[in-house]
Structure 1
């Protein structure tokens, strides 16, 4: 692998400033990597190398003049397919959607362009973003770069695979129940779901937010001044901030950190995952934090209620599609959604009310602790062609029990690699902070990355 691909955003920008590397030269390295590896991982949609070359040349001229547009000028970036980019269709991962060009950039894409980032591709996702899988009725099967027989997770499947495959340093995903953190955990990268409204999204709906997916904590932090600028299209967007997103100074001594090893329901935790997360928790203890076991915030009734609500909501979106269009939806997703056809309005509201219960349980826990550690994913891995870790539409949410409560409570949470299984697959540690405690989550993640050394060797793939 070209050594340029291992550089962080800070290092790349430093070389741009020194004029020892140009955006055009860096893009050449990324383009060569994609040509070699993308046929194996299938992470990209609407890949446009010619357009990227043009953007990189324009950025090269700006850097030569000493006039970069913003803090990400010349940095190659992907955005998840669900994030609209002007003039491009948004197929939502499914063959059932008409390919109509988007009229304008969604907030994240607009902010990236304003700051000179090179958007060179969209990244794949499953049908309607409703699976934690690289399986889609529209896109080719996306695979995990660490083991091509395994699943990268989802729904930000392509973003996680692209990051782990070293297709540039920054990839933007979306998350409604774990779709940034789950694939981050399964591919060994860093995935950050900020407080809801911190990064504006359009359209907004319950639980949805956007977040950076990178190979280092600092790279994610460097994207936040750009991504977090307000946008009127998101009515939940938070007020402008002047945070120093690179202030990682933190002494964890005396902090009370909850350790949640039982999600309360869903899939049981694999032994390798348990061992890796417990080892990570000991690093916080060694640094002086008080790590205490905490009970789960989720119950079976909450998770099942969420399932009922989402089935009803999604069925409401697709029920009027012609039968021919419905038949194009991934069968797993259609079978799951069809269960919403018999849900009454009262039952749907009761299901929604379970999200309020989750929010209350999360708030109660954070009245007792400063942060929470847990596994990101309960299991190590699953086959690439499975629609979900259970591969069973009657059990669609069993794998999100550690992640989904923090979407409902709107709290910041991140996944960072904390080791590897005996089979060689990455394992994710989830770090959760109080609502609006985005900087705290980044500080804790950065501290852990410093203690652990982070991931130093990424999949080569060139000879596979």
Structure 2
């Protein structure tokens, strides 16, 4: 195993026995990033000099036995939508005036408190409203498994960075699948906690913050830090005493739903259906009863959400001058303009469809303990596309499996369950009851243990 592939647990053991220091590890990682970054463009505000200083300070703390927290010395990136004090938050678009953030957002503050080495932000598309690495502000982010293909989004850079091995921990955000979708397309583990489990600022309906990692345990390790409450998020859950590293589970007697039809949106590729059904067999062999699950989403729900989100974004864009509005990625601009024709009553009706999603998800979980489904309906799509359809009149056809669980506030994860004939990763989504984040992590860990996880990750391109 390359030094840059070490997990958080392995790094902490090496830091503790002094066979590796945080600074030595960072310098190895710095070289690794230099080999990868020109070809995948995952990072924004990358600052290796500041990272060296943070890693040096952590090395001194480890030497004295005075570490700040469980993530002391662990390199981490934050999606650029997550504010870091003194740095701009461009929201992935050229339309935003760049101003230094006045304070760290909750996730950034918690990581700093625990001594993590924050070395960069990661890219996202305009306003985080695409499942793509395409942005009017950032360079085009690409999928390390095949650089002609898209990493997905909106946590595009975070997914690319994790798959390429830019350290063990990357923090994304998810309002309709923006952690899980790119996780599925890049083969990593992406965890969307229960709403409020990880405080978010600014808060928005369905918006969650979650870890993106190569292993389930690395994501679990981060949760004790990330889940500390913050007053700035009015939905922030109370302090928890969960043992996030207790990942054992007995599936005997569990009823686990298998959903292969989302109810609307893009049809599921045959290779994905086969991989997800094979994954379900693993849970069955572990003692669970697998039962067929009907869709929770309808066309009316998805179209209502589309109207609501269009009107919401247009309300912000209408305040911009023409030059700034024209600088937005045309796909997003064209989509948002549709919000100008949405009446206030229709916007409210659209929002009400999020309540219908919540009811539909709640009804399903009266009869099951967890749910399995595809994360993504298709294998991959070109890096240059703005979305899997590349059509602003069909913007959300790819989120039908993921978005309901944002609106129902339930924990959900994406974990790799195989590869396509073209060599691209396939994601399995695991959903649990509201607030039972540990159940999702435990089921994910059990699946990872049974399959062995991803055994071979992409390596940096060879330069002449």
Tell me the TM-score range normalised by the shorter chain: over 0.9
Query: What is the CA deviation profile of residues 185-239 of structure 1, one whole-angstrom value per residue up to 9, with x for unaligned ones?
Result: 0000000000000000000011101000000000000000000000000000000
How many residue pairs were aligned? 463
Answering whether residue 33 of structure 2 is matched by residue 34 of structure 1, we say yes
Partner Cα separation in structure 1 for residue 78 and residue 111 of structure 2: 10
- 1:154-303 maps to which residues of 2 (within 5 A)? 154-303=153-302
Residue 60, structure 1, aligned to residue 49, structure 2: no
Please state how far the C-alpha of 1:5 moved relative to its aligned partner.
1.2
Q: Give SS of 2:121's match.
A: strand
Q: Deviations over 1:56-94 (max 9, x none)?
A: 000000000011110000000000000000000000000
Question: Which residue in 2 is equivalent to 1:21?
Answer: 20
Q: CA deviation at 1:36?
A: 0.6
- Report the counterpart of residue 11 of structure 1 in structure 2: 10
**How far does residue 249 in structure 1 lie from its aligned partner after superposition?**
1.4
Matches within 5 A, 1:286-365: 286-365=285-364
2:148 aligned partner: 149
Separation (CA, whole Å) in 1 of partners of 2:180 and 2:327: 28
Deviation string, structure 1 residues 27-71 (Cα, Å, up to 9, x no partner): 011100011110000000000000000000000000000111100
Question: Within 2, Cα distance between the matches of 1:102 and 1:16?
Answer: 33
- SS across alignment from 1:77: strand
Give the structure 1 partner of residue 419 of structure 2: 420
- 1:107 matched to 2:109: no
* Deviation larger for 452-461 or 73-82: 452-461
User: Which whole-Å CA distance do the structure 1 matches of 2:119 and 2:262 have between them?
Assistant: 38
Q: Does 1:461 align with 2:460?
A: yes
Cα distance in 2, alignment partners of residues 51 and 317 from structure 1? 34
The one-character-per-residue Cα deviations of 1:229-286 (angstroms, maximum 9, x if unpaired) are 0000000000000100010111111100000000000000001111110000000111
Aligned to 1:69: 68
Tell me the equivalent position of 1:449.
Answer: 448
**Could you say what the CA RMSD is over the residues aligned between the two structures, in angstroms?**
0.6
SS in 1 for 2:310: helix
Q: Please state how far the C-alpha of 1:424 moved relative to its aligned partner.
A: 0.1
Shift of 1:320: 1.5
| Cα distance, 1:15 vs structure 2 | 0.4
Provide Cα deviations, 1:356-401, integer angstroms capped at 9, x if missing partner.
Answer: 0000000000000000000000000000000000000000000000
Distance of 1:437 and 1:53 partners within structure 2: 38
User: In 1, distance between residues paired with 2:236 and 2:142?
Assistant: 34
CA distance in 1, matches of 2:296, 2:316: 30
Q: Which runs of 5+ in 2 are unaligned?
A: none
Superposition TM-score, scaled by structure 2 size: 0.99
Equivalent position of 1:387 in the other structure: 386
How far off its partner does 1:461 sit? 2.4
Q: Hey, what's the Cα distance between the residues in 1 that align with 2:174 and 2:36?
A: 26
Shift of 1:462: 2.9
Q: What TM-score, normalized to structure 1?
A: 0.99
Query: What displacement does 1:122 show?
Result: 0.1
SS in 2 for 1:324: helix
Q: Which residue does the alignment assign to 2:371?
A: 372
Unaligned runs of 5+ in 1: none
**C-alpha separation in 1, matches of 2:173 and 2:24:** 30
CA distance in 2, matches of 1:78, 1:406: 25
Mapped partners of 2:19, 2:29: distance in 1: 17
Please state how far the C-alpha of 1:6 moved relative to its aligned partner: 1.3
Paired with 1:29 and 1:444, the residues of 2 have a C-alpha distance of 33
Q: Counterparts of 1:99 and 1:340 in 2: how far apart (Å)?
A: 25
